[in-house]
Amino acid sequence: MSSEFAAIIEVGARDGLQNETQFVPTDVKIHFIQLLKDAGFKEMELTSFVSPKWVPQMQDSTEIVKVFQDETRNIVLTPNEKGIDAARALNCEAIAVFVGVSNTFNQKNINKTTSESINQLKPLLLKQKQDDVFIRACISTSFYCPYEGKIEEKETLSLCEQFVEAGVDELSVADTIGMANPKEVHSLFTRLKNAFPHILLTGHFHDTRGMALANIYAALEAGVYRFDSSAGGLGGCPFAKGATGNIATEDVVFMLHQMGIKTGIDLNKVLEAVSFIEKYVSRKIESKHFNLKTLTNI
């Protein structure tokens, strides 16, 4: 572990809110995002260009994107050609796509196999790279699948290699159902670092079983210094039964700062953002640092 800085990609506004059954008003989302930007985030997932029929929470993606046309990396999820076209029509310069390593997960999610998904995406991504668009590839079920169980490392490496061939800038490697352990995380990320030394590698951990912080530490030991996190620990996966929220941003930032690793994030301002959004979401905020701060005021 040698770096003195770790990058945190805030995903609360997109991944964190997408599964909320009650629509969060657009002005609330905008204020939430602005509070997070004020906390110092330079990379954020803002929204998703998906069908409102399937993800009603993201029906206001156009309005949100129009507000945030700043110099930071504002990432929007674009699962298909229609989504990519919609994002690019609004001059979005950073997009995210996703494919699960597991065939069953993909079929239940987007009704395509893994190979069908990546083969359809490749020409679209190569075209976007010609326009210098930043492309983030989200690799779901990189460790375990809720339907197929343990995923072999070689399968995850193979999918990542195909994305790299398509010109992506970043691989966000996800423990979608929160079953990975630190030994597995260290092993996979070590292999990914060796295989793709010039690609941005990001760890995306869910805290379903309370292992996310330990897994982040294992990724740090493997030389990874980029992590997705969600303010308040909001989020989950609608196509992965039992997958609870992402690791809470405030818990990750607190741990890194205590270890002497800088993030550029103001922890108190993150807590302000969590306190604001808490009254608009259905689930209880369970992050350790938020509840400790609320109870003890320290």
Q: Known catalytic residues?
A: 237
Cβ-contact 49, 61 below 8 angstroms:
yes
How far, in Å, CA of 274 to CA of 234, rounded?
A: 9
* 96 three-state secondary structure: strand
Q: Is 297 left (phi over 0), alpha (psi -120 to 50) or beta?
A: left
Please enumerate in sequence order all residues whose Cβ is within 8 A of that of 77, keeping only pairs 6 or more positions apart, or say none. Answer: 14, 45, 47, 48, 49, 50, 83, 95, 96, 97, 98, 138
CB atoms within 10 A of CB 266: 14
Cβ-contact 143, 151 below 8 angstroms:
yes
* 93 three-state secondary structure: coil
Tally of CA atoms within 13 A in the half-sphere of 159 that contains its CB: 32
296's tokens: 């003890």
User: How many Å separate Cα 16 from the centre of its chain?
Assistant: 9
CB atoms within 10 A of CB 64: 21
11's tokens: 């995903």
